[in-house]
Structure 1
């Protein structure tokens, strides 16, 4: 008689198929048939390594900003695979906040920054912030635009506000570090980079910046 106890959980089986086939639609369909986002959040914290990887991946596909804290904590999971999946997932969750129109606006701001249309990004982000000041990613995107225009004080203020709203926003912390570095405020830059690493230990470029800053400050 077949020993059913040896079968992996359904979510792990779906995850293994996803790794082999890279079919996200099938993965989402298989997982959503059996798991709610609330159950996935519990698995992301309590399951074994494969289960946590699968649950965080599923949350990245299926959930919204409401799972930010769970996925944010997964950034410091003891398993490197979970941490990597969480970093990709949480960036998507930051854009899934507010109404459909607000989400579309966030995407538009992101595209404007990517295409180096920074003044337009600032204008659109400002409109969204006036309407919904609780959207952390709007502040962070506006901060990024200010940074690229060498408006470092404005960028710092925006990144700081993003972190006040979303304490898991490692990108905002790293952005503050870059601004302070451009202002030659090495102590504040080091503090900000360390904060980003506490949130997301996988930021290797930030880790390298910390090492360089520590050496530079020791040599002074």
Structure 2
């Protein structure tokens, strides 16, 4: 068996070839033949910055739900390239973490939500979470539909169900903040945004929202 250093240098070499040629199919083929998910997770945790980038990219292609937490930790990696690769992999794994039919149904719901067709997305999203109750992204998309329909209590519940399945889902933390703001609870919204930013420091829209809430709270301090 190859020593860790050898395996690390090999994946870095494959990663560099991928950057030069942009041949994702070749990178996928070589990674799939040479590495297990467990080995990639070890490199993600312990490798240098190039190894961490390469393993995050590989996990975006071959990883499964076992990688979600490790990738969640890397969303705040000290290296920005690792953070970006980890974010792409994290989202990819959340979307495909289901049976093929459920995955296809999720993509349909996501398309409707992305187009602002929240009423049309609601029923298939509800069916999907009933069929696949551990599918974190299904709960997230259901929450988005509820939020778009201004059904804030139901959205709040669905965002929390998403986070119960995946605590690193920073978009769900941001969604909870939207619900809290709709309820007039600015301080709780700010806490949720801070949680999202702690998970993903590059989440700029959450930073903008947090600054706006802090300014509002400073202008209107609570009275006793």
SS in 2 for 1:11: helix
SS in 2 for 1:196: helix
The corresponding residue for 2:44 is: 44
Q: 1:185-219, CA deviations, whole angstroms, 9 ceiling, x for partnerless residues?
A: 21121011011112111101111211221122122
The corresponding residue for 1:9 is: 9
Offset, 1:182: 3.2
SS in 1 for 2:163: helix
The corresponding residue for 1:19 is: 19
TM-score by length of 2: 0.91
Q: Describe the shift of the 1:215–1:143 C-alpha distance in structure 2 as closer, same or farther (beyond 3 A).
A: same
Counterparts of residues 6-85 of structure 1 (less than 5 Å): 9-85=9-85
- Is residue 130 from structure 1 mapped to residue 93 from structure 2 by the alignment? no
Offset, 1:92: 0.8
Distance 1:25 1:182 in 2: 45
Aligned partners of 2:11 and 2:54 also within 8 Å:
yes
Q: 1:152-197, CA deviations, whole angstroms, 9 ceiling, x for partnerless residues?
A: 2211111011111111111100111122223332112101101111
Gap regions ≥5 residues in structure 1: none
Q: 1:80-112, CA deviations, whole angstroms, 9 ceiling, x for partnerless residues?
A: 111111111111111111211111111121112
* Superposition RMSD in Å: 1.8
Aligned partners of 2:8 and 2:51 also within 8 Å:
no
Distance 1:7 1:129 in 2: 40
Distance 2:118 2:8 in 1: 49
When the two structures are aligned, how many residues end up with a matched partner?
216
Counterparts of residues 49-198 of structure 1 (less than 5 Å): 49-198=49-198
Runs of 4+ residues deviating >4 angstroms: 5-8
SS in 2 for 1:33: helix
TM-score by length of 1: 0.92
Distance 2:118 2:213 in 1: 29
Distance 2:161 2:139 in 1: 7
Offset, 1:72: 0.9
